[in-house]
Chain A
Amino acid sequence: MMNNLYRSEEASARGDAAIIVISLFFVGLLIVAFTSNPIATGTQPGERAPIFTAQAYNGNGWETFVFDDLLTPEWSPNSTGDAPWIAVEFLDTDCGYCKKSAEDVGNWAEQYSSSVWTGPEVIFIAVAVEFVADSSRAEIKEFRDSYEHTFAYVDDLDVDIAGDWGVGATPSYFLVQPDGIVAWNSGQASNSIGWDAVSEEVFSLTDYTGDNYIELNEAIEQLTMKYGGGTQ
């Protein structure tokens, strides 16, 4: 009987200790939850775009490209300033649709970085992947030069960055806010959803062209001008 009583007390000690520890754990978790508002890393509107570092061709040669360097973490919709937005295109140099849209993308890159554009500057970057057929840095260089693009082409032939960004087809476009939050993703089931940085909710973009598809330029014009535009 004494033995049973003894064992019973042991169980009580474990139970008491468990109550103390579980309480402590949840108090800690609640303090963290109430004092922070974490943002997931991903490519859906409202998520933080995955950062990357890779080699990029900028017209003069291959140099290290750090996506993080383009970001302005202190940006807020109320103080648009001259912080640039970032348009990211994932392309394959062997993809027909990428070739077809290359001229438009080149024009948009010029248009949204020029002083004619009243909105904030948009920096374009292309991430070259290898989905369709064998590709190479020489092909990337040739593709960029043939369309007279002036923006950087990032080498992602090992599709490492594409994997992080959830890109399964090309061309895919993303518009990233200056603080690194994805504002628009062309690869969503409905690509007309943009991110409102003020209300922190998604909203529907207007389809100007009536083709039931939001192009990158439509997303840029609606999203970058949403907060009163910016300065060049």
Chain B
Amino acid sequence: MNEYAILSFHAAIILFGVILMTPLGESVGGFLANKWPSTSTKRGRMLAGLMLVCTGGFTVSAHTLWMHNKLSEGTSVCSGNSILNCDGLIGNPEYNTVPFINQPWGLLGMVAFCVLLWIVITVAKEPLAFATPTFLKAGLGATIAGLPVIGLLVSYEIKEGLICPFCTTAHIANIIAMVSFFVLLRMYESDEWAPELKNTRK
């Protein structure tokens, strides 16, 4: 299968997550509410959307780890004459591992998105817990910590004059997650987080 067709699967998961988080998600959430009642609320849709974004980030990271391994076998997985070329970056031993720990970037991405996913699932399961703001801040902090890493990887792309679409998809997922955690934190501080409690109080 063409590598860009596979990439579109990862991108579709992330895109669906983004749609759920936007005002468009209200109509989509209506269809999902029967199966997942939490998606009937704005908070539920935001958390469900963020879960999908993190899942998409995880799957695309796992795919880059697979590419890393296949390239070490000597197989070409995503090359071409255009600027879009993963082989030249994921297959380049100068850039394809995390400095100091010497592990593939894809593995770091898998771990990072799993941690984010754990935070989101925990918050979604217990949105009214005392630790919720701490978890949201941790998620925001973790995604902000990802920015210098993205900057480093983009600098490799600039140096090589290539763009790795799979890596870029993972970077975009991190940035979307960062914005989402920020929005969720703002929402927590407002009445939108638990409108049912607000009504109860009344």
Please, how many residues of chain A have a CB less than 8 angstroms from a CB on the other chain? 33
Residues 77-110 of chain B, each 1 if its beta carbon lies under 8 Å from chain A, else 0 = 0000000000000000100000000000000001
Say whether B66 contacts A32, CB under 8 Å: yes
Residues 15-51 of chain A, each 1 if its beta carbon lies under 8 Å from chain B, else 0 = 0111011101100110110011111110000001011
Q: What residue of chain A has the Cβ atom nearest to residue B61's Cβ?
A: A28
Interface assignment of B186: CB less than 8 Å from any CB of chain A: no
In the bound complex, what is the Cα–Cα distance between A161 and B76 (angstroms)? 25
**How close is A86's CB to chain B, nearest CB, in angstroms?**
14
Which residues of chain A are within 8 angstroms of B148 by Cβ–Cβ distance?
none
Interface assignment of A14: CB less than 8 Å from any CB of chain B: yes
Out of B70, B93, B130, name the residue touching A51 (CB < 8 Å). Answer: B93
Interface assignment of A69: CB less than 8 Å from any CB of chain B: no
In the bound complex, what is the Cα–Cα distance between A21 and B112 (angstroms)? 11
Which residues of chain A are within 8 angstroms of B7 by Cβ–Cβ distance?
none
Say whether B72 contacts A40, CB under 8 Å: yes
Out of A10, A18, A36, A41, name the residue touching B66 (CB < 8 Å). Answer: A36
Say whether B58 contacts A24, CB under 8 Å: yes
In the bound complex, what is the Cα–Cα distance between A74 and B76 (angstroms)? 10
From B12-20, B33-41, B121-129, B164-172, the one touching the partner chain is: B121-129
Say whether B74 contacts A73, CB under 8 Å: yes
The 18 listed contacts between A and B (C-beta, < 8 Å) are: A10-B131, A13-B121, A24-B55, A25-B111, A25-B114, A28-B58, A28-B59, A31-B62, A31-B66, A32-B62, A37-B73, A38-B72, A38-B73, A39-B73, A41-B72, A48-B74, A73-B74, A73-B75
9 interchain residue pairs of minimum CB distance: A36-B69, A17-B121, A13-B125, A38-B69, A13-B126, A28-B62, A21-B118, A17-B122, A10-B129
Given contacts A14-B122, A17-B118, A73-B74, 18 further A-B contacts (CB under 8 A): A9-B129, A21-B114, A21-B117, A21-B118, A22-B114, A24-B58, A31-B62, A31-B66, A32-B66, A32-B69, A36-B66, A37-B69, A39-B72, A41-B93, A48-B72, A50-B93, A51-B93, A73-B76
